[in-house]
Amino acid sequence: MNLQLISDFNLETLQQYLLKDSSSPQLSVTCAPFGQVFPALLEPVTADRSDFALIWTSPDKIIPAFAAALEQAPVDETRVLTEVRNLVDCLLNAKERFRAMFIVSWTLPPYQRGNGLLSLRQQGLGKLLLKMNLTLAEALEGSGNIYLLDGQRWVEAVGKNAYSPKMWYLAKSPFHADVFRYATGEVKAAVSAVLGATKKLLVVDLDNTLWGGRCR
C-alpha cells in the first residue's frame, strides 16, 4: 500500500518515521514536492495511483486571505471562507484518485498571537481559524473517503516545543520531530481504520454471558 504525502512544507521527516515504523500496516510512502499542493491534487488518475493521501498544510500558506489577515490587513472573512471552499472543491475532485484521503486540520504556533485578548471576538484571528476548520469539516462531511484529522491534538500532545522555528529555517518544516513521531501513529491508525483492521475486545463471564461490568 502506498501513501502520498502532500504539503506546503517539508514532510520528509514524517516520511522517514512512517517508513521505519514496524507496526501494521506497512506503507510505501512518497512525498509530493512541498509547496505544490494544488498541482499534486490536480494530477490525472494513473494506473499506479496511490492508495492513500495525507494532505497537511499551513493555513497562512494555503489560504492567502488568511495570510493577509496575519499581516494585520483588514479581515475579509467572506474571502477567507471562499478560499477554503475552493480548496475543498479541489479535494473533492481528487478523491477518486485515492482509496482514502486524510486532511490535517489547521493550527497556529503559540507565538502567532494575532489579536491577543480579542482573538476569539469578531474579526479575531483565533475565531477566524475556528471558522475555517469548521467550514472544512462541514464541507467534507458527506465526502465518503475523505477524513479530517485533528492536528491540534497532535500539537498539544507534544506541548510547548511542538513548533520549531529552528527546523523551519533548517529544513522548511515548522514542527519539532516529536510532532511527526506522534503523527506517525495517528496516520497508521487512520489507515488501519479504513482497512477495517481495528480490533474490539469482548469480555464475557465464565458461562459465556456478557460481563456485567462489576468486579471485586
> 2-45, pLDDT tens digit by residue?
999 999 999 999 999 999 999 999 999 999 998 999 999 998 77
In the structure, what pLDDT confidence band is assigned to residue 47 with cuts at 50, 70 and 90?
low
pLDDT at 205: 57
The superfamily CATH assigns to domain 2-195 is SGNH hydrolase (3.40.50.1110)
What grid cell was written down for 25?
A: 500496516
- Mean pLDDT lowest among 24-38, 112-126, 130-144: 112-126
Average pLDDT over residues 143-156: 95
46 — pLDDT class (breaks 50, 70, 90): low
Distance from C-alpha of 209 to C-alpha of 203, rounded to nearest angstrom: 9
pLDDT, tens digit, 9 for 90 and up, residues 75-93: 899 999 999 999 999 999 9
pLDDT, position 27: 93
Averaged pLDDT, 69-78: 89
d(CA 12, CA 3): 13
pLDDT surpassing 80 at residue 215: no
Q: Which of 68-82, 118-132, 143-157, 176-190 has the lowest mean pLDDT?
A: 118-132
The identity of residue 55, as a single letter, is I
Percent of the chain with pLDDT over 70: 88
**Average pLDDT of the chain, as a whole number:** 89
pLDDT of residue 201: 54
Question: Taking 60 as the threshold, does the pLDDT of residue 154 lie above it?
Answer: yes
- Measured from the Cβ of residue 88, the count of other Cβ atoms closer than 10 Å reads 18
Question: Residue 151 has what pLDDT?
Answer: 97
Confidence at 52, pLDDT banded by 50, 70, 90: very high
State the pLDDT at residue 123.
77
Check whether the bond before 74 is cis (ω within 30° of 0): no
Give mean pLDDT, residues 176-201: 88
Are 108 and 120 in contact by the 8 Å Cβ rule? The answer is no
